[in-house]
Amino acid sequence: MKRVVITGAGTINALGRDVPETLEAMREGRCGISELEFRDVERLAIRIGGQIKGYVPENAFNRQQMSLYDRFTQFALLAARQAVAQSGIDFTGALADCSGVVLGTSGGGLTTQDENYRSVYEEGKNRVHPFVVPKLMNNAAASHVSMEMNLRGPTFTVATACASSNHAMGLAYHMVRGGTCSVMLTGGAESMLCFGGVKAWEGLRVMSRDACRPFSANRNGMVQGEGAGVYVFEEYEHAKARGAEILAEVVGFAMTSDASDIVMPSKQGAARAITGALRDGGINASEVGYINAHGTGTAANDKTECAAVADALGGQADRVMISSTKAMHGHCIGGTGAVELLACIMALRDGIVAPTIGYEEPDPECALDVVPNEAREADVSVVLSNAFAFGGLNAVLALRKA
Amino acid sequence: MSVKDRVIAIIAEQAVLEPSDVTMDSTLEDLGIDSLGLVESIFAIEEEFDISVPFNANEPEKSDFDISSVASIVAGIEALIAEQKK
């Protein structure tokens, strides 16, 4: 089996327009959640989110591109450009033919759907722009990344709700580890912050009206975010031969299904994914220094996740640091694992553990070291990134210091 | 503006050209408009004139709407306006 390393990273999210800006915000424990701004927001009960403000797509894309790129595709392309630039890879010839893209998304071009449903249902228009379908389809982002970067190998989209990005990155890891591909671009993108997107979530009654406070006893729900994270996953020898800078090594991955409830999380399903990732990576629980939690800030997730971590890590659960960066960038749904992997890389490379901000009151059901409110310096050699989706689908990645 | 000038403005915008660069005997291919550009132009024309253009990208040759040149497109649109705005 091949070793798999990360040689490039890119992002755009409510905390920053690129990786350095995002990591700085995470170090400082800055909150990117603000009042939502879009049409009909006054008809929503939930009016906050990790929205990317002051974003001018015309600065990055020409008019023809704009007519084809939904907001989630734009985010994916911006992140992919950064990741490829950092890795220094040029995709040509045989390398291009066997390199691909696996991206996660949950809603795909939801903004495009929302705008066009409004146009035909509410405004009674009988004509829509001809690119509605290629713009809204869930694989649009992966396809446009493949086209822009000339990646001609396996390219597809994974949709497992809030675990989409982790599933995507896990599959990309498998493809490089198994030798199918030398290089994969992977991660995820999401942009659901439009009237219909937030209204649907509102219906479920799991959203907070004021803040995301993971693990805090007074938490009252999740806050949605948007954005993308894209990484270059590269076979170790390939990266070494070209002298690439290695950000971290991907060493383990596991996915499980709760097979029980469509929305309520299961401790067993989550714990099996965590132990599975440790087993896959040949990792002792005692080596795990940091876990980027799924940590949505809902009553159910956070206590179930803490119980699962305690079960899977045993005594190490009392020593491990676990934080949820969703309190800063919001829950980026299908793109969230990709944005959150940045905190994992920061812990390994910079020795800085991102905090769980908004933490106000200890919850006896979340009695782990959740790195409350302030970042911490620590020497961490192995990290995990948890994602536990609606549908009972769990995906956990393990990374090791390069 | 005449129908002709309005159609030329739409086609020129799609082709990222000046209207003066679009002549009546230009073909869409000459102007660098591909199949997606064509359906986008038809959409813009429908919006501009509030008409419905009978065009199926699967069988353009069977359509009454002739897209072989700018002149034929303009003529087709003038006919559709006359027919649909009665």
User: According to the model, what pLDDT value does residue B62 have?
Assistant: 76
The candidate with the shortest Cα–Cα distance to B42, out of B84, B10, B2, B86, is B10
Please indicate whether, in this complex, the C-beta atoms of A130 and B43 are within 8 angstroms of each other: yes
pLDDT at position A362 over 80: yes
Please indicate whether, in this complex, the C-beta atoms of B40 and A127 are within 8 angstroms of each other: no
Give yes or no for a contact between B66 and B76, defined as CB atoms under 8 angstroms apart: yes
Strand partners, A143: none
Give residue-wise pLDDT tens across range B38-80.
999 999 999 999 999 988 888 877 777 899 999 999 999 999 9
Q: Residue A294 has which token pair?
A: 């799924």
Across all residues in chain A, what is the average pLDDT? 98
Give residue-wise pLDDT tens across range A199-214.
999 999 999 999 999 9
Please indicate whether, in this complex, the C-beta atoms of B43 and A67 are within 8 angstroms of each other: no
- The residue with tokens 């390393």 is A5
Interface probe for B, chosen from A125, A131, A133, A143 (most Cβ of B below 10 Å), is A131
The candidate with the shortest Cα–Cα distance to A12, out of A70, A99, A71, is A71
For residue B62, count other CB atoms closer than 10 A to its CB: 9
A253-400 to CATH, choices 3.40.50.300, 3.40.47.10, 3.30.70.20, 3.40.640.10: 3.40.47.10
Identify the band that residue A284 occupies on the pLDDT scale cut at 50, 70 and 90. very high
Dist. CA A280–CA A399, nearest whole Å: 11
User: In the CATH scheme, what architecture does the domain B3-84 have?
Assistant: Orthogonal Bundle (1.10)
Dist. CA A15–CA A7, nearest whole Å: 22
C-alpha separations of A309 from A116, A270, A316 in Å: 43, 8, 9
CATH homologous superfamily for the domain A4-241: Thiolase/Chalcone synthase (3.40.47.10)
Within 10-69 of B, beta carbons closer than 8 Å to A belong to: 16, 36, 39-40, 42-43, 46-47
Burial class (CB in 10 A: 0-12, 13-18, 19+), B6: middle
Region(s) of chain A under CATH 3.40.47.10: 4-241, 253-400
Amino acid at A87: S
Burial class (CB in 10 A: 0-12, 13-18, 19+), A82: buried
Which residues of chain B are within 8 Å of residue A67 when distances are taken between CB atoms?
Answer: 40
pLDDT at position B86 over 80: no
Q: What residue spans define the domains of chain B?
A: 3-84
Residue of B nearest to A134 (CA): B36
User: According to the model, what pLDDT value does residue B2 have?
Assistant: 94
Instruction: Report the DSSP pairing between strands A34-35 and A321-323.
Output: unpaired
Give residue-wise pLDDT tens across range A121-167.
999 999 999 999 999 999 999 999 999 999 999 999 999 999 999 99
For residue A156, give the DSSP letter: E
Please indicate whether, in this complex, the C-beta atoms of A130 and B46 are within 8 angstroms of each other: no
User: Cα A174 to chain center, whole Å?
Assistant: 18
ipTM of the complex: 0.83
User: According to the model, what pLDDT value does residue A61 have?
Assistant: 98
Residue A268 backbone dihedrals phi, psi, to 5 degrees: -65, -45
